[in-house]
Structure 1
């Protein structure tokens, strides 16, 4: 889960391990299941935090 303006680019970077210290650094087959559009970055990050806090 994360925020971006370009979903396909973010996925490619994520799966190629170009993000140092990424939580899913061993994953090579991540896929996009759903996307949401928000009014601004602050709203997206706020809702991402709520989701990750309640994730089980």
Structure 2
């Protein structure tokens, strides 16, 4: 069922330039657990071409 419908988890992102790392293990109703899954991403909020830090390209 999870493979068909997916699982949604809200994750608070790290600060600018830092990595957000998420690990997960899924347990079914019978108590069987999945192998650990892991993924990461780097937060990048800088607008290309923003030379004065106002969030807009100049």
TM-score in terms of structure 2 length:
0.23
Task: Return the structure number with greater strand share.
Answer: 2
Instruction: With a CA cutoff of 8 Å and minimum separation of 6, indicate the structure with the bigger relative contact order.
Output: 1
Task: Return the structure number with greater helix share.
Answer: 1
